């Protein structure tokens, strides 16, 4: 098991943090966070950084984009301002997000929803199967058409409607109206 890395709650880090293994942030991190294992942003943490990891669990505040190779779990208390991308994204009741959320992100293992539009594009041009980065282009093009909250599942895969609607940037007014 890789050694646990902890940024304690009374610690401030202004840095690029990278490496294999897991990291737990309880304090303040500003810069960039890239780890090969799991990144846990605890409830006392304030993170102003793009976070990349295999798995990301958030219970605290993050300003920056989250992207994970496996999954992102936004627990109760999570406050995220930024984009969230991972093959599996779960937002638990009490998790708050403002930003673009995409499941089955590019670079993930192929899944039916991600692959279908990509093939269509490829078929028109008769190009061989797209490299992994290609679906990303399709996703970006399609993202404006995607309905709000699409692709979001709660932990466990059951589908009670999300308590917290996921917003695209600049839709705060719409939320206020709905409430």
Partner 1 sequence: MASTVIGANITIEGEVIADEDVVVQGTIRGKLSAKEGVTVESGAVVEADVSGGPMTVAGQVTGNVTSTDRVELQSGARVVGNVKAARITIADGAHFKGNVDMDV
Residues near partner 1, by CB under 8 A: 2-23, 26-27, 31, 35-36
- Residue 76 CB, nearest distance to partner 1 (Å)? 22
Angle, CA of 160, 164 and 167, to the nearest 5°: 120
Q: How far is the CB of 4 from partner 1 (least distance, A)?
A: 6
- Residue of 88, 25, 23, 92 whose CA lies nearest to 61: 25
Q: Which two tokens stand for residue 48?
A: 């102003």
Determine how β-strand 38-41 pairs with β-strand 66-74. Answer: unpaired
Instruction: Find the shortest distance in angstroms from Cβ 53 to partner 1.
Output: 12
Strands 66-74 and 84-86: parallel
Whole-number minimum distance, CB 140 to partner 1, in Å? 30
Q: Between 12 and 119, name the residue whose CB sits nearer to partner 1.
A: 12
> What is the DSSP code (8-state) at residue 161?
P
Residue closer to partner 1, measured from CB, 26 or 104: 26
5/171 with CB nearer partner 1: 5
């Amino acid at each position: 098991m890789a050694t646990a890395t902890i940024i304690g709650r009374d610690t401030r880090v202004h840095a690029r943090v990278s490496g294999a293994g897991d990291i737990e942030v309880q304090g303040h991190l500003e810069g960039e966070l890239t780890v090969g294992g799991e990144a846990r942003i605890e409830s006392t943490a304030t993170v102003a950084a793009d976070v990349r990891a295999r798995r990301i669990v958030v219970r605290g505040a993050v300003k920056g984009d989250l992207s994970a190779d496996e999954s992102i779990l936004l627990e109760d208390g999570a406050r995220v301002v930024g984009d969230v991308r991972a093959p599996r994204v779960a937002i638990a009741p009490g998790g708050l997000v403002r930003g673009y959320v995409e499941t089955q992100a590019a670079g993930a293992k192929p899944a039916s929803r991600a692959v279908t539009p990509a093939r269509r594009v490829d078929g028109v041009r008769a190009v061989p199967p797209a490299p992994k980065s290609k679906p990303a282009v399709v996703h970006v093009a399609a993202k404006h058409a995607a309905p709000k909250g699409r692709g979001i599942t709660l932990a466990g895969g059951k589908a009670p409607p999300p308590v917290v609607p996921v917003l695209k940037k600049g839709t705060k007014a719409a939320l206020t109206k709905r409430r």
